Amino acid sequence: MALCLYSACLPLPQHPVNVNFSCLSHGLGLINRSISSSRRRRRSIISPSRSLRSQILPSARPETIGSRVFVVSDLHTDYIENMTWVRSLSSNIYKKDVLIVAGDVAETCSNFVLTMSLLRERFQHVFFVPGNHDLWLRREKHNYFDSLYKLDKLLDACERLGVETKPSIVDGLGIIPLYSWYHESFDEERDITGIRIPSLEMACKDFHVCRWPDGLENGESSLALYFDSMNDKNWNTVKDIQRRCSHTVSFSHFIPRLELCPEKRMLFYPNLPKIIGSNFLETRIRSIHGDVGNPSACHVFGHTHFCWDTTLDGIRYVQAPLAYPRERKRRMNGGDDWLPFCIYADGCFAEKLSPCYWSDYYAVNPRTPNCTELAPWVARFYAKTL
């Protein structure tokens, strides 16, 4: 995901400040706005968090039986550093494994094809769903009619490369890609008022660098419904997976629930929830995993660039983004050394991704969306801009 004019000046907060919770956060375009009194506490967390990260990854266990399943999102390999990271992945240790890529591989088709080729050389299976960046048109040398036409070309490239974009069963695990797009009405929480917040069209590049056929508009429910309907053709396969598999992983680029993003008062761009998710996606996920979920159900997502791992109504939701190079430098747990994250091995899901500073925060602090008083780090920013 990218904010059009604000990737540097309107990032998501580095961590929840002035709360009774000793953890940090990371996310989209993070800026370290920590108060000086928290610096010593952060230093004390750095070493343990990184050691925990290496301990929970099962990739170093050669005795693992069957395929392991790794997840990653938001590769953004138009950045040289991110393409270098992909090239640095071992060509040996993943040969029997699965990689789930939850969208935003690259802005240009050429970088997309190169990235997916490199991943296919390293993993036995690679699964993919598109993100918004994958459908941008601004830097393409070819004259695509619109973003849906480009999507068709990307899916054709995936088929040539052996990248899987349809539901499948691998070593008894059901893997279900879900197409999605966001819609503004997804945001049902109280808006922040009293400050001048840039419009969605100003803040989000998708409104300028994606192009849609007549009748489909960015941010409208029509576009979200169109992408959701793309899943219908695969539904017989999904039903077969439901009958045959004890464990199932579904995945999308966009987020299915508002609880998977910090509250508006915590965000430097408070209207972010209007351009990140889809209610239709959550309905689709529940039709797969059940209204009450189960311990064998997991959904992987991307887009917001927050590491996230939580269970809501019986379904585990995980985000493991590579994100932008500048973001990895700012967030406590980086990403270069522990991604991709192994979500499944030896017939069961892996331990919780930890630390995930924002989802850890909400594990012990209630979500209070009706409170619209800006967090101190956000209030300071808007005080300077008004």
Q: Where are the domains of the chain?
A: 36-385
Confidence of residue 239 (pLDDT cuts 50, 70, 90): very high
Amino acid 20: pLDDT: 31
Quickly count: other Cβ atoms within 10 Å of residue 117's Cβ.
16
Amino acid 141: pLDDT: 76
User: Strand, coil or helix: what is 311?
Assistant: strand
Tokens linked to 300: 């992987």
Q: Which of 259, 279, 274 is nearest to 180 (CA)?
A: 279
Amino acid 65: pLDDT: 74
Q: Lowest-confidence range among 22-31, 254-263, 326-335, 355-364?
A: 22-31
Tokens linked to 380: 């300071």
Q: Which of 311, 293, 299, 302 is nearest to 352 (CA)?
A: 311
Is the domain 36-385 a CATH 3.60.21 member?
Answer: yes
Helix or strand run (H / E) with residue 296: none
The tens digit of pLDDT for each residue in 49-96 reads: 333 443 334 444 556 777 899 999 999 999 999 999 999 999 999 999
Query: Who wins on pLDDT, 34 or 205?
Result: 205
Amino acid 19: pLDDT: 36
- DSSP conformation class of 255: B
Query: Who wins on pLDDT, 66 or 20?
Result: 66
Amino acid 384: pLDDT: 59
- Judged against a pLDDT cut of 60, whether residue 377 lies above it is answered with yes
- Residues with Cβ within 8 Å of residue 336, at least 6 apart in sequence: 85, 328
User: Strand, coil or helix: what is 130?
Assistant: coil
- Residues with Cβ within 8 Å of residue 117, at least 6 apart in sequence: 161
